[in-house]
Amino acid sequence: MTWQHAVVIGASGGIGKALADELEQRGTEVVRLSRSAEDAESHIDLQDEASIEAAAAWVAKGKAPDLILVATGYLHEQGEGPEKDWRQLSADHLARNFAINATGPALVAKHFLPLLRDDGRAGLAALSARVGSISDNRLGGWYGYRASKAALNMLIRTFSIELKRKKKNAFCIALHPGTVDTALSDPFQKNVPEGKLFSREHSAKKLLEVLEGCDADSTGRIFAWDGTEIAP
């Protein structure tokens, strides 16, 4: 089943752009939103709720989306993060992780979930990470990223419960894209096993394959790029 009308938030990023491109190649009408968008209507900043609300109001003027993708994330910037030792913890870095990886997507859900179509399958999916799984954490480190992605997973689960009451055909899930060749993963690629570093295009195709199989029964869950479910 081809998605008819999709909104991609973070569409200027590596995975976000690949997702938007692949959707359009499959015949989906795509609205691209990003922080770097030149036109005011397409601008969205996950650290500014007013911009999220304005973007949602603009999208609401068009056709109701049946797919909303939140393809944003933060791991490191200008040599800061992720933490390998608790001595590297800082309030500012933790706050930035939560602002972009958890609070931002939550505010997107607040303003965009009501826009999902009511007459048929529809859903919101946010990019999370396997390292956000509490039960799968055996290596430690990456405190802010792990904790903020775990928070995102909990938010997705909580939104899904309310969504089921308000839009019975809709779903709200988290997706793990694998390790993708983007600026986010660039400093860590030398440690990636052979064959496990994905191109942006490959990851986008695999994520859309997962989404093709999602429906209201999938809501609240976390899926990896290969369709396997990740434990919270």
Determine which helix (DSSP H) or strand (DSSP E) holds 224, and give its type and residue range: strand 222-224
CATH code of 181's domain: 3.40.50.720
* Region 31-50 average pLDDT: 96
* pLDDT attached to residue 177: 95
Phi, psi (5° rounding) for residue 186? -50, -45
In a domain, 231, yes or no: no
Which amino acid, one-letter code, is at 17? Answer: K
In a domain, 58, yes or no: yes
Q: How do residues 155-213 score in pLDDT, each as one tens digit?
A: 999 999 999 999 999 999 999 998 888 877 766 666 777 777 899 999 999 999 999 99
Cross-strand bridge partners of residue 34: 43
Q: pLDDT category, 85, cuts 50, 70, 90?
A: very high
Neighbour count for residue 24 (Cβ, 10 Å): 14
- For residue 81, pLDDT over 80 is answered with no
Classify the C-alpha dihedral 211-217-219-223 as positive or negative: negative
Residue 166 burial class via C-beta count within 10 angstroms: exposed 0-12, middle 13-18, buried 19 and up: exposed
Q: What percent of the chain has pLDDT over 70?
A: 95
* pLDDT attached to residue 193: 73
**46: helix, strand or coil:** coil
Looking at the structure of the chain, the number of domains it has is 1
* pLDDT attached to residue 196: 77
Which amino acid, one-letter code, is at 128? Answer: S
Q: How do residues 53-62 score in pLDDT, each as one tens digit?
A: 999 999 999 9
If you search the block for the tokens 């393809």, which residue do you land on?
Answer: 71
* Region 130-149 average pLDDT: 95
* pLDDT attached to residue 181: 85
In a domain, 229, yes or no: no
Q: pLDDT category, 80, cuts 50, 70, 90?
A: confident
Q: How do residues 88-117 score in pLDDT, each as one tens digit?
A: 999 999 999 999 999 999 999 999 999 999
The token pair that represents 80 in the structure block:
């800061």
* pLDDT attached to residue 1: 65
pTM attached to this predicted model: 0.94
In a domain, 89, yes or no: yes
In a domain, 130, yes or no: yes
Pairing of strands 67-70, 5-9: parallel
* Region 73-92 average pLDDT: 88
Q: Mean pLDDT for the chain?
A: 94
In a domain, 195, yes or no: yes
Neighbour count for residue 181 (Cβ, 10 Å): 18
Q: How do residues 117-136 score in pLDDT, each as one tens digit?
A: 999 999 999 999 999 999 99
**Nearest CA to 204 among 11, 1, 4, 5?**
11
Classify the C-alpha dihedral 6-8-12-13 as positive or negative: negative
SS (H, E, C) 100-143: HHHHHHHHHHHHHHHHCCCCCCEEEEEECCHHHCCCCCCCCCCH
User: Could you list the residue range(s) of the whole structural domain that residue 55 is in?
Assistant: 5-224
In a domain, 146, yes or no: yes
In a domain, 153, yes or no: yes
